[in-house]
Amino acid sequence: MAVIAQKCPHIKVTVVDMNAKLIAAWNTNSLPIYEPKLDEVVFEARGRNLFFSTDIDANLIAADIIFVCVNTPTKTHGIGAGSASNIKNVEACARNIARVCTTPKIIVEKSTVPVKTGEAIARIVASCGNGVAHSVLNNPEFLAEGTAIDDLWAPSRVLIGGSNDAAVEKLVSVYANWVPRERIITTNLWSSELSKLVANAVLAQRISSINSISALCEATHADVDEVARAVGMDYRIGKYFLKSSVGFGGSCFKKDILNLVYLCQSYGLHEVAEYWNQVVKINDYQMKRFANNMIKNMFNTITGKKICLLGFAFKKDTGDVRETAAAYVAKYLLEERASIAVYDAKVSADSMFEELKYTNGVDETTIPELKKLITISNTDVYAAATGAHALAVMTEWDEFKTLDYERIFGLMVKPAFIFDGRNILDHAKLRKIGFEVHAIGKVFEA
Ligand code: UGA
């Protein structure tokens, strides 16, 4: 919404939320999320044609186009628990719009929704509204965190699904203020909803494919980066999203694939469901394999050993920790009662503990010594590494490439191990300093 406001000064954009604390934060100079370049965009448009408010009803009534951007988390109970998305927030928005609006609105599903949610919204607004004919469009978001603003400024494509041509054209005309027309594609509602899930599933599939091969590379004399490079140079395949890692994370991939799996299952397409489920399974395997590798190489025991995790965010340039591989790895290490020192400049201790608890079931009931076993720092990586038996790179933050590894080596217990879960460090140089280095998809060199 901030980018729409920035690029279209003639359009008034108001962001509304029930959460007063969040809205208040968006009205200050310290925005509630970290995203490169977001500050400059918000500061440019805020107060001009970008507003943040808790007055939901009045702003719904005043709007021509309403974007529904609520979260649709994976269900934790009931039918489809563990894979289906919970669309109760979407439904609540639809009911709110129907209740207060007496003029026709264009309702845009922006949240990632299971296919056919548009139909549900359309039925709700038609049956419990004020007799007005609203139109429902789907406009999925393809931005990636960390590059969100660049992605929005120059999107690979904008996808708009819907059957009301006038409404579609109106939304097209908003994006056309800065996106070339040929990059704005229109489809029917269901194609658009499904395309979003499929785009994420295919991206995640590439990572799981290369990660599955990383295990084979470690067992043979192949190098996963060399394989990815050779494979990716075939222009039909392409070089992107073939970087082997400790596993993909983030709020989207796992959730959207499970959503797709659930959809296939509900249509009785069990083989198709299982095919996509394997993408998630390989990711779980990769995270577990990484932790197991650490344990095996550290003489089969890490109990009481200090391990320093470099990074906790699910990727660089974001403070987001949802579904981060780091939390899974931390859980496996904590189960062995290792002590863990996490260093990440952009992640708060609160959000780390929350992620450990909600996604991974790690709290003081499952790991009684938790608070003693885990320490967290945003500022001092050298303190975090002091007395550690191992460093494990969890996030590919650029700063990890240029740390003073001679100094770190001096601070660690020997033999000093490095497990590079992102293959970003200079392994030869580290070996020269004296580290025992293990990387993803590479044969171990003593
Ligand atoms: C993803 C998609 O890339 C976006 O297009 C989509 O709009 C978004 O989900 C969404 O549905 O909202 P995001 O989750 O922000 O974006 O991050 P990605 O850059 O896709 O990274 C996801 C995970 O895959 C990260 O943990 C990353 O480190 C990992 N990854 C990515 C790899 O392990 N290897 C790669 O080669 C690329």
Query: Which of 329, 171, 319 has the alpha carbon at shortest distance from 246?
Result: 329
The residue among 280, 301, 317 that closes a domain is: 280
CA distance 367 to 361: 9
Residue 343 and residue 355 share a domain: yes
Query: In this structure, what token pair is assigned to residue 369?
Result: 């010594």
Contact 436, 416 (CB under 8 A): yes
The helix or strand, by DSSP H or E, that contains position 289, with its residue range, turns out to be helix 270-297
Residue 254 and residue 308 share a domain: no
Report how far Cα 324 is from the mean position of its chain's Cα atoms. Answer: 8
Residue 218 and residue 262 share a domain: yes
Q: Measuring from atom 17 of ligand 1, which residue has the nearest CA?
A: 144
Q: What is the whole-number distance in angstroms between the Cα of residue 376 and the centre of ligand 1?
A: 25
Q: Is 101 a catalytic residue?
A: no
Residue 108 and residue 227 share a domain: no
Q: CA 329 → CA 10, 253, 338, distances in Å? A: 48, 18, 11
Which residues line the pocket of ligand 1, CB cutoff 6 A?
112, 141-145, 200, 203, 207, 241-243, 245, 248-250, 252-253, 314-315
Residue 272 and residue 294 share a domain: no
End-to-end CA distance of the chain: 52
Closest ligand 1 atom number to CA of residue 142? 7
374 in a domain, yes or no?
yes
List the CATH number of the domain containing 87: 3.40.50.720
Residue 251 and residue 226 share a domain: yes
Q: CA 384 → CA 10, 130, 167, 374, 380, distances in Å? A: 50, 60, 55, 11, 6
Q: Measuring from atom 24 of ligand 1, which residue has the nearest CA?
A: 248
Residue 400 and residue 334 share a domain: yes
121 in a domain, yes or no?
yes
Residue 226 and residue 204 share a domain: yes
230 in a domain, yes or no?
yes
Please state, as a whole number, how many other Cβ atoms lie within 10 Å of the Cβ of residue 439: 26
298 in a domain, yes or no?
yes
397 in a domain, yes or no?
yes
- Verify cis geometry, omega within 30 degrees of 0, for the bond prior to 155: no
The residue among 187, 211, 236 that closes a domain is: 187
Q: Measuring from atom 23 of ligand 1, which residue has the nearest CA?
A: 248
Query: In this structure, what token pair is assigned to residue 414?
Result: 């020997």
Residue 212 and residue 87 share a domain: no
Written as tens digits, the pLDDT of the chain (446 aa) is: 999 999 999 999 999 999 999 999 999 999 999 999 999 999 999 999 999 999 999 999 999 999 999 988 888 888 888 877 888 999 999 999 999 999 999 999 998 877 778 888 999 998 887 889 999 999 999 999 999 999 999 999 999 999 999 999 999 999 999 999 999 999 999 999 999 999 999 999 999 999 999 999 999 999 999 999 999 999 999 999 999 999 999 989 999 999 999 999 999 999 999 999 999 999 999 999 999 999 999 999 999 999 999 999 999 999 999 999 999 999 999 999 999 999 999 999 999 999 999 999 999 999 999 999 999 999 999 999 999 999 999 999 999 999 999 999 999 999 999 999 999 999 999 999 999 999 999 988 88
Residue 247 and residue 153 share a domain: no
Residue 403 and residue 417 share a domain: yes
Residue 206 and residue 146 share a domain: no
Please state, as a whole number, how many other Cβ atoms lie within 10 Å of the Cβ of residue 65: 18
Q: What is the whole-number distance in angstroms between the Cα of residue 397 and the centre of ligand 1?
A: 15
Output helix, strand, coil percentages for the chain, rounded to the nearest 5: 45, 15, 40
List the CATH number of the domain containing 258: 1.10.1040.10
The residue among 187, 205, 235 that closes a domain is: 187
19 in a domain, yes or no?
no
Report how far Cα 359 is from the mean position of its chain's Cα atoms. Answer: 14
CA distance 390 to 180: 50
Query: Which of 20, 35, 21 has the alpha carbon at shortest distance from 318?
Result: 35
Q: What is the whole-number distance in angstroms between the Cα of residue 150 and the centre of ligand 1?
A: 15
In this predicted structure, what is the pLDDT of residue 186? Answer: 98
In this predicted structure, what is the pLDDT of residue 176? Answer: 98
Domain containing 240 equals 197-280
In this predicted structure, what is the pLDDT of residue 77? Answer: 87
69 in a domain, yes or no?
yes
The total number of structural domains that make up the chain: 3
The helix or strand, by DSSP H or E, that contains position 96, with its residue range, turns out to be helix 88-100
Name the pTM for this structure: 0.93
342 in a domain, yes or no?
yes
CA distance 171 to 177: 11
Query: What does R_g of the chain's alpha carbons equal in angstroms?
Result: 24
Q: Considering 217, 252, 264, 308, which one is annotated as catalytic?
A: 252
